[in-house]
Structure 1
Amino acid sequence: MNNIDEMSVNAIRVLSADAIQKANSGHPGLPLGAAPMAYELWANHMKFNPANPDWVDRDRFILSGGHGSMLLYSLLHLFGIGNLSLDDIKNFRQFGSLTAGHPEYGHTVGVEATTGPLGQGMAMAVGMAMAEAHLASVFNKDDYKVVDHYTYVLGGDGCMMEGISSECFSLAGTLGLNKLIVFYDSNNISIEGSTDIAFTEDVVTRFKAFGFQTLEVEDGTDLKAIGKAIEEAKADTTRPTLIKVNTLIGFGCPAKQGKASAHGEPLGVDNVAALKENINWPSKEDFFVPEEVYDNYKKIGEEKAKAEEEWNKLFADYCAKYPEMKELWDKYFNGADLSELFDSEEYWAKGEKAEATRATSGSILNLIKTKMPNLIGGSADLAPSNKTNMKDAGDFSKENYAGSNLHFGVREQAMAAIGNGLALHGGLKAFVATFFVFSDYVKPMARLTSLMKLPLTFVFTHDSIGVGEDGPTHEPIEQLAAFRSMPGISVFRPADRTETAAAWMHAVSSTNEPTALVLTRQNLPQLAGSSKEALKGGYVLEDSTKETPDAIIIASGSEVSLAVEAKASLAADGIDVRVVSMPSMDVFDAQSDEYKESVLPKAVRNRVAVEALSDFGWYKYVGLDGEVVSMKGFGASGPAKTLFEHFGFTTENVVNTVKKVVNR
């Protein structure tokens, strides 16, 4: 290691230690130990332009061990990416700072993904690598490799322990994603101490079984050895690569290195001073970085900018030679114009017969695919049940990266995070799918989808006790309430074809939030009153004849038709009700006060909600005077019709509940 390289590595260590000490909060262990591999990668192997962090053909770097965020912030500052200033470094972990405790996508320029929950960054990296492979297969021509970049991800023992990493890397090996390079920061320390107390497996052998090339760097401070491993990883054109780099947590701090105490707490003022002395740092001043180090990073950055200049020339020639591909590129990266589809009678055509909304969703998905070539997605081994297979779109595989149908296998956790990676990469409109009850495996990843404001679509089918014979293990009850409670995601539970079309329109039109479609297994009737008003989340499906209704029945999904039947029965008894369909609570809540009042007037306090799931969340609409016909426990095994009757989802029970409310 020459002196300027050594000083450049140590600058990462010093900035990290000082920022964490000033904040009196953070994780110095990873930045101190992993600084050499990060510097070697960024300075000598990674393709990017500091002046244009969003360059489409840049290499991606994801810090899966997000607790080590100061490693990433130090690199961004030293390379001048996004103008992350020294004051930003000094404000690490402070309210409103650009240097949050864990990296946040969209908040700090240069952060490719929001990471924190261990392992998720690993799976998002797999999604990015899949996106690169797919886009390369679509757009690259002869000598014009306009999509040609690597995805690098760095994590430690914690990421390797989390089950999601096994799911995603098993798939990555199966798919032969050779442009995925995983750095394993192996320091044998976790919060509770040595990893030997809970983690003694041979990670390298596990990755060999996954189908990875595996390399090991014995000394994590040896830049040449790290660089050699990176080039060897790139040379393998058939497999992804794991590079295990053996490091010393808290490297350079005499009292802390190699100890669990280096992981998740500031080093202490005296220990920071001892660190600087031990690594021969030229000053004990806080946040001091020599100008020669800044100059080195600037020089490297200027050299790297040439890669984009060359790509811009290549892309200009490509567009001139293949104008039809330039047109397709714009559809992928700027968004296809779907206005003609969404204005068409075909899209909004009423269904002619009873049909499960999962089946309706499948037909609408295929209709959208004809106008949206960059639509990509799949299911956790449930496409025939989720109805998410796109006709004539091909299957994404090691032999055919051009395919748009993704097969995740029985890996819901990896699927959801890979979906995030696909959305983060850019150029693709992604969806993922499974049974609604298995959304419990999806939710932690969906939470990051919402935090990052990614327009990923979740297709959840088999939405209630209508699952029937599979029984309570497969019948969702509390899942809808859980997703409705999540900020920043639109949740649609449509009642028929029209409402399903509205839900998909909302989903694929979104640019800054995810959408969850919650769909039935069983057939539902087509409703005469359903309309595009479903795009407002809630609307009057059938109105009363009175200016002020005697009562309002609110329902979603499969229970809307039940509400319509109850209205007809109540009319015979002289009770005039309004039926409100509520496919999406959050979309309805976002409407104007005037609109919400027009649908649910405050003067009408006689209200009944009907939904074959948990009642959690419904009382904000029915109030203290209302009632909710809902599930009060788990389901049972039996034919769907029998279960609906047993649990009270009948016209008679809804009618009696309305009468109870009206006659109080």
Structure 2
Amino acid sequence: MVAEIDVLSINTIRTLAPDVVQKANSGHPGAPMGCAPMAHTLFAKFIKANPSAPTWINRDRFVLSNGHACALLYIMLHLTGHNISLEDLKQFRQLNSKTPGHPEANHGVTGIEVSTGPLGQGISNAVGLAIAEAHAAATFNRPGFDLIDNYTYVICGDGCLQEGVQAEAASVAGHLQLGKLIVLYDDNHIQIDGDTALGFTEDVNKRFEAYGWHTQVIADGDKDFDGIEAAIEAAKKVTDKPSIIKIRTTIGFGSKNQGEEKVHGAPLGEQDIVNVKSLFGFNPENKFFIPEEVKAYYAEIQKKGVEAYDAWNALFAKYAAAYPDLAAEFTRRVAGELPAGLKEALPRYTPADPAVATRKLSENVLNKIAPILPELIGGSADLTGSNLTRWKGAVDFQPDSTGLGTYAGRYLRFGVREHGMSAICNGIHAYGAHIPFGATFFNFISYGLGAVRLSALSHHQVLYIMTHDSIGLGEDGPTHQPIETLAEIRALPNILSFRPADGNETSGAYLTALQNKTRPSVLILTRQNLPHLVGSTVEKVAFGGYVLQDVEGKADIVLVATGSEVAIAVDTAAELAKLSIKSRVVSFPCWELFDEQSQEYKESVFPEGVPVLSIEAMSTYGWEKWAHASIGINTFGASAPAKDLYKKFGLTPDQIAPKAKKLVDFYAGRTPEYKLRHAF
């Protein structure tokens, strides 16, 4: 039976949440009040964690998918001893506070596993967390040594279950039989527009049953505390299916407007808070009040977490004695250290080597590094044969019962689910000890852009391996040819976009992406074959741009290009030489890294007073930062063989050279505006 201290704790949360939102005069009080029973039950009865060791790999993970209810999460983190103080709660939604308007992972607050707020992302990230747990357990656990055995718990709302990304991820989770994933669905029937009956009348549990989930229902989530606890216990006993527990709650429980959209996204008001506190037996005059009994109760919960952590460390010491090599590998992966010999294993090429598509060169890299980088895990959105992401000897990540693979496998079959794939990859990285990748055609990264954006915001080291990067994919036509896509990616903060020109640059792109541990990378690769270029190197990719080929004395023009157009720039330089025009060729595989170089280095690549012409089979948007003129594509593509398309869009040396000459002539006798302005 539920104890009085549990009731008091739940009511403390129900009264504290309105204070947090009211002080900010902004936020969502209703969901925290309605979800208080399930949140308390999870943190008090189930979640195993140690706030003094917040990155402990075997902690249980908690994801608040309906991130607008973050006052609830911040309160729970405060009660459980994470680094959110009562003063931090009072600074909710204020500048530079630890308690922003939606939870942000990797921004200084412990206990926030993933960034949520964009609905559907959190529950989808949780699928990745559960995949990572299953893989780590299958890789490292040995009889008598269950180093990895944590659960992933989620609270989500109606909004999360309406977003398409969760349907993709939930389908994957059911197929993969992720039994340690448990979702508590806050079925409060309210969204911003009003009752969910206006647009959301499906039977959620039946849908999840069809996905292969275990389902339960709690009819009274406001008062049936015992029922919530029993349902979670029952879910834990189902080891071959993820679980969802539909819990009928009242949004804003205790408010005069409980059960209405009015309590969803606005403060209750001082008078209603007085009513709420009076209803639950609290002094209305006390703000941000936590009874001493509740503090003491949660202090005991913290002690249990410390005991679990200490017991795990003792287990690991015995494990290290029994399996020293495995323990060393486990320690390396948890620490995020790259293995020795990674750079040396990368393929390198000379101009004498045959022309190869960079997607194939990417496969060559994967074949070299996958055996020595066991934390690399990922797959393709049903395009394995086109993306070339499955290395030799790869084993699929699948339930053992299917006969299709094993949880120790590292190749994920995401299916045609680009958005879900990207969100799942975020969760895999958030777990720790893994470097995830997801692959599709570059055009279709736009399907997953919501999750890609959160990769960047949350500092997740996800590798997005994107092939068929331009009109060079040919006959599939404009529906598949990315024109604006690279500009979209370049506009995102804290992300690296690599468009390598040949084999050395492809190897360099992988090396640099793997060395950048706090931001995602997009590797943008060709379908068509490209020659290996004189002057290309693995190492110079880390500079973002570099002089590939130069002339004696001062150049008349700089030709700068990325990817497949670098070879075209080289050939254009040869055409210009026939006209006695001296051209420097700059390969520019990563804008973002070049932008981070010193001003001196930038000026060494783009000398002052020399006009710059960019060449890229993409939108010219953004090139004005680097070039005085640009050759690219500002319309949609067309369906034809690649060679014909490059000719149609003016991306051949014989068509570029006259334009380059015009640029040189235009600036003859005048000084081009210097493009590389100092950043302030």
Corresponding residue SS for 2:465: strand
Tell me, yes or no, if structure 1 residue 86 matches structure 2 residue 86: yes
| Residue deviations 1:98-121 (CA, integer Å, cap 9, x gap) | 111101112211111110100000
CA displacement at 1:143 relative to structure 2: 1.4
> Residue 29 of structure 2 aligns with which residue?
28
Tell me, yes or no, if structure 1 residue 453 matches structure 2 residue 463: no
Tell me, yes or no, if structure 1 residue 651 matches structure 2 residue 673: no
Alignment of 1:270-419 (within 5 A): 270-343=271-344, 347-350=347-350, 352-399=353-400, 400-419=406-425
CA displacement at 1:334 relative to structure 2: 2.4
Tell me, yes or no, if structure 1 residue 491 matches structure 2 residue 497: yes
> Residue 403 of structure 2 aligns with which residue?
none
Say if 2:349 and 2:532, in contact at 8 Å, map to a contact too.
no
> Residue 462 of structure 1 aligns with which residue?
468
CA displacement at 1:12 relative to structure 2: 1.3
CA displacement at 1:375 relative to structure 2: 0.9
> Residue 63 of structure 1 aligns with which residue?
64
Distance 1:654 1:330 in 2: 54
CA displacement at 1:15 relative to structure 2: 1.6
CA displacement at 1:563 relative to structure 2: 0.5
CA displacement at 1:529 relative to structure 2: 1.6
Distance 1:474 1:536 in 2: 31
> Residue 596 of structure 1 aligns with which residue?
602
Distance 2:285 2:74 in 1: 21
Distance 1:150 1:337 in 2: 27
| Residue deviations 1:113-147 (CA, integer Å, cap 9, x gap) | 11010000011000000000000000110111000
CA displacement at 1:407 relative to structure 2: 0.6
Distance 1:421 1:650 in 2: 43
Say if 1:341 and 1:347, in contact at 8 Å, map to a contact too.
no
> Residue 224 of structure 1 aligns with which residue?
226
Aligned length: 656
Residue identity over aligned pairs, in percent, reads 47
Alignment of 1:560-571 (within 5 A): 560-571=566-577
| Residue deviations 1:33-71 (CA, integer Å, cap 9, x gap) | 000001011101121123322211010000000000010
Say if 2:274 and 2:284, in contact at 8 Å, map to a contact too.
no
CA displacement at 1:283 relative to structure 2: 4.5
Tell me, yes or no, if structure 1 residue 613 matches structure 2 residue 615: no
Alignment of 1:537-556 (within 5 A): 537-546=544-553, 548-556=554-562
Say if 2:273 and 2:284, in contact at 8 Å, map to a contact too.
no
Per mean C-alpha deviation after superposition, the further-off stretch among 348-357 and 389-398 is 348-357
CA displacement at 1:370 relative to structure 2: 2.2
Instruction: From the superposition, tell whether residues 259 and 337 of structure 1 become closer, same or farther in structure 2 (CA, over 3 Å).
Output: closer
Distance 1:87 1:333 in 2: 33
Tell me, yes or no, if structure 1 residue 583 matches structure 2 residue 589: yes
Distance 2:378 2:337 in 1: 17
What one-letter code is carried by the residue in structure 2 that aligns with 1:594? E
Corresponding residue SS for 1:378: strand
Say if 1:331 and 1:373, in contact at 8 Å, map to a contact too.
no
| Residue deviations 1:213-252 (CA, integer Å, cap 9, x gap) | 1011111131110010000000011111011111000001
CA displacement at 1:336 relative to structure 2: 4.8
Q: Which runs of 4+ in 1 moved over 4 A?
A: 336-339
Tell me, yes or no, if structure 1 residue 516 matches structure 2 residue 522: yes
CA displacement at 1:369 relative to structure 2: 1.1
Instruction: From the superposition, tell whether residues 297 and 289 of structure 1 become closer, same or farther in structure 2 (CA, over 3 Å).
Output: same
What one-letter code is carried by the residue in structure 2 that aligns with 1:545? E
Query: Mind listing any 5+ residue stretches in structure 2 that lack a counterpart?
Result: 401-405, 667-680
> Residue 535 of structure 2 aligns with which residue?
529
> Residue 641 of structure 1 aligns with which residue?
643
What one-letter code is carried by the residue in structure 1 that aligns with 2:422? A
Say if 1:552 and 1:608, in contact at 8 Å, map to a contact too.
yes
> Residue 177 of structure 1 aligns with which residue?
178
Corresponding residue SS for 2:184: strand
Alignment of 1:251-270 (within 5 A): 251-253=253-255, 255-270=256-271
Say if 1:467 and 1:640, in contact at 8 Å, map to a contact too.
yes
| Residue deviations 1:489-530 (CA, integer Å, cap 9, x gap) | 011100000110110001111211111100001001110121
CA displacement at 1:7 relative to structure 2: 1.2
> Residue 673 of structure 2 aligns with which residue?
none
Distance 2:295 2:341 in 1: 53
Distance 1:257 1:337 in 2: 52
What one-letter code is carried by the residue in structure 2 that aligns with 1:502? G
What one-letter code is carried by the residue in structure 1 that aligns with 2:93? R
Say if 2:347 and 2:364, in contact at 8 Å, map to a contact too.
no
> Residue 119 of structure 1 aligns with which residue?
120
Distance 2:530 2:622 in 1: 24
Corresponding residue SS for 1:608: strand
Corresponding residue SS for 1:586: helix
What one-letter code is carried by the residue in structure 2 that aligns with 1:197? L
CA displacement at 1:304 relative to structure 2: 2.8
Say if 2:476 and 2:639, in contact at 8 Å, map to a contact too.
yes
Per mean C-alpha deviation after superposition, the further-off stretch among 45-54 and 285-294 is 45-54
What's the C-alpha RMSD, in Å, of the aligned pairs? Answer: 1.1
Per mean C-alpha deviation after superposition, the further-off stretch among 408-417 and 522-531 is 522-531
What one-letter code is carried by the residue in structure 2 that aligns with 1:538? G
Say if 1:276 and 1:284, in contact at 8 Å, map to a contact too.
no
CA displacement at 1:338 relative to structure 2: 4.3
> Residue 678 of structure 2 aligns with which residue?
none
Say if 2:557 and 2:582, in contact at 8 Å, map to a contact too.
yes
Tell me, yes or no, if structure 1 residue 632 matches structure 2 residue 637: no
> Residue 100 of structure 1 aligns with which residue?
100
| Residue deviations 1:148-204 (CA, integer Å, cap 9, x gap) | 010011110000000111110111000000000011000000000000010000001
Say if 1:607 and 1:658, in contact at 8 Å, map to a contact too.
no
Corresponding residue SS for 2:618: strand
Distance 1:494 1:404 in 2: 26
What one-letter code is carried by the residue in structure 1 that aligns with 2:184? F
Distance 2:437 2:305 in 1: 34
CA displacement at 1:2 relative to structure 2: 2.8
> Residue 163 of structure 2 aligns with which residue?
162
Per mean C-alpha deviation after superposition, the further-off stretch among 232-241 and 103-112 is 103-112
> Residue 235 of structure 1 aligns with which residue?
237
Say if 1:491 and 1:586, in contact at 8 Å, map to a contact too.
yes
Per mean C-alpha deviation after superposition, the further-off stretch among 362-371 and 64-73 is 362-371
